[in-house]
Structure formats: C-alpha cells, structure tokens
Amino acid sequence: MIILFAGKYTGEYNRDKIIFEGLQKRNDVKIIEYKFNRKKDFNREKFSTLNKQCDIIYCPCFSHKFVRLIKKNATKPVVFDPLISNYLTKVFDYKNVTRRSPRAFRNYLKDKMAFNAADILIADTEQHKTYYHKTFGISLEKIHILPVGANTSLFKPIKRKPNHPLIIGFYGGFIPLQGTKFIIEAANILKKNTSIYFKLVGTGFEYEKMQQLVGDLNLKNVHFEGWISYNELPEKISKFDICLGIFGDTIKANLVIPNKIYHYAAMGKPIITKNSEAIKEIFTENKNIKLVNNNGKDIAEKILEVAENSDKQNELGKNARKLAEAEFNENKIAEKLVAIFKTIQAKKSI
C-alpha cells in the first residue's frame, strides 16, 4: 500500500511522529510525501504524478485549509485526520472569537467544508466523533476512530528513587483545556505540605497569567520550567513522581485524550486527570488512572491520596504502562490506521 501524505505539516507534531514511526516499520506500507505551506505553492502537475503512484491520500492534522484543494485534484480516496476543530478551539476554547460573529461562522464553514471534502474523517475519540457528527452533520459511517497513542520505545519507564519532596509534574501548552488554574488552586491548598512540590513544564496562551496567579498567591511550592523540546520530554517526565493531565472546563476538554496522558502512561507514571467520557473510553478509574472533578479541592485531595500511598503509585503506573504498551504504541496505531485505509479500498472494489 502506497500512502501519499499531503498538506501543510512538519512531521514534528506528536500525532505525525507516532503515525510516521509506526507506518515506517511496516513492510506492507510505503510513504510518499507532498508538502506545501500555501495554496499558491500547490503544483498540480507534481501532485498529479504522486496521486497516480499512491493508493490513499492522507492529510495530516491541522491541514484543514488544504483538504478541499487536495480532494479536487485527487483521484484516490482522501483521508483527513484533523485532530481538532478550529471552530471549537477558537470560539469555545480560547474564546477569542465571539460565538455568533461572522468570524465564528467562517471558522465553522471552513471546518465543515474540509470535513465534508474528505472521503474519510478521523477522530481521536468517540466523543470527538460524536461532536463532528452533531456539530457539522458528518455521517457517523464516514468517521473512524484513531487514538493518539505514544511511541513506547521512546517513552518508557526510567527507574528512579522517589523525590523528597514528591514532584507533582505537568507538561503542556498553557491553553484553556489544560485547566492549569485548577492545578495552581490545588497547589495553594497544599502550600503548607512540605512533602509535595509542583513543576509545570511548557508555555502558551495563559502562561503569563498563571505566573501572575502564582505570584499573587505567593506560592513557593510551584516552579515554572518553561518550554522544552519533544526529545527532552521522556527525561523530564521520568523525574515526576505523579503526573497531572488536563482539568479544563471547556467543551474540548471533555472530548479529547491529550498527548501527555499517553506519554505519562507509556512511562509507567501514576496519572491524575479530569473525569470525562473521553478518558473513560480507554482508561479505567483507580486501575490505571485517577480521575477527579476539575476543581482545586478535589485535585488536591487526590494528589494527597496517591502521594501518601506508594503501592497505589506503583499500581497505577504499572497498569498504565501495560495498557499503553499493549494497545497504544506506535505499531498499534499504525495497524489501526492501515485497517481504516483497507476499509476504503474494500468499498472501492465492490
């Protein structure tokens, strides 16, 4: 099977990396690529040549604006893996576009047209699939599920002695769905507990706002680590004793299982994250994850519960690693994606 990756992408984002790494290990798959950053850079002749060579055209995440152009010039099935809805992100998550404004409507139309143009639309969770169906009218039959997963060869357990104090770690972009304000609320509740210390890795939309909040609360138990590269993540995560996921109160936070959760799991770390229908599609409360309400009080209580029980830390971490390694490594994700491609080929042959 020859797969043409087409659109604007770098291959450096986590979703792309996992799919590339998994597919490249398969003997039954060959990847060819056509990258372009602007519509005016699209070369129809070059694309046509590659289109003739391939069996499937795959548009990686965030290629929304190019799907219609690719589909218009393609004779092979087009699979789009958006990962997000720009409409949902800008209007309901970041809230930097007013809900009933012309800009909101334009974002809605752009998503809808891109989703409709593809022969197959990929969603990372069942909850996201339902959202695409209900919001944009995409038929359920057209939407296939492909979890995010992790490269379990790169993200793997690294044995370390527990820290004193215990490090409660978070990494991610400081965007609304992360709910970092609730982490800081929890840190404030636990500020007199000298056995617990918070490290927050990353930057983003609300980064300075969260730094200001920590300053206003005069918290000495929170340290901002700043941005680090993808390849530095395993070493950094290995130094966390307990890992924090997302706690946002946005719609999007209820639909996704973010990269970090799979990374934490692959590294055998105990995870605390927001209780949502999406997370429960894959993880099981109190077996391989600890689920909380998205408020500082509950997060603080669950942190204490796990921090004070080393056996529970080990149990949650080992079970999370077992799940990630068995079902959500790069090879399994590639296998699931190839199965999706084969369903399209089967329909074509009927």
- 73 to each of 40, 54, 342, how far by Cα in Å? 14, 13, 22
56 DSSP 8-state letter: E
Question: Domain tally for the chain?
Answer: 2
DSSP letters for 315-328: HHHHHHHHHHHHHS
231 and 321 share one domain: yes
What CATH number is associated with residue 106? 3.40.50.2000
Tens-place pLDDT, residues 67-101: 999 999 999 999 999 999 999 999 999 998 999 99
State the Cα–Cα distance between residues 214 and 209, nearest whole angstrom: 9
Among 41, 72, 45, CA closest to 57 = 72
In a domain, 158, yes or no: no
Q: Do residues 52 and 114 share a domain?
A: yes
> Do 203 and 227 touch, CB atoms closer than 8 A?
yes
How far is 204 from 176, CA to CA, in rounded Å? 10
In a domain, 157, yes or no: no
Instruction: Establish if 235 belongs to a structural domain.
Output: yes
Q: 209 in a domain, yes or no?
A: yes
pLDDT tens-digit readout, 254-263: 999 999 999 9
310 with 337, same domain? no
Q: Is residue 117 domain-resident?
A: yes
Instruction: Evaluate whether 272 touches 192 at the Cβ level (below 8 Å).
Output: no
pLDDT above 70: residue 350: no
The domain containing residue 55 runs over which residues? 2-149+329-349
142 shares its domain with 179: no
- Count the Cβ atoms, other than its own, within 10 Å of residue 57: 27
Are 133 and 83 found together in one domain?
Answer: yes
pTM: 0.96
pLDDT, one tens digit per residue, over 185-244 is 999 999 999 999 999 999 999 999 999 999 999 999 999 999 999 999 999 999 999 999
Distance, in Å, from the CA atom of 197 to the CA atom of 187, rounded to the nearest integer, reads: 8
Residues 186 and 323 in one domain: yes
204 and 290 part of one domain: yes
Is residue 223 within 8 A of residue 197, CB to CB? The reply is yes
Query: Chain centroid to CA 64: how far?
Result: 17
Q: Judge if 226 and 128 occupy the same domain.
A: no
Question: Does residue 247 lie in a domain region?
Answer: yes
Residues 191, 314, single domain; the answer is yes
> Within this chain, do residues 312 and 184 fall inside the same structural domain, yes or no?
yes
pLDDT exceeds cutoff 80 at 148: yes
Report residue 349's pLDDT band, with 50, 70 and 90 as the boundaries.
low
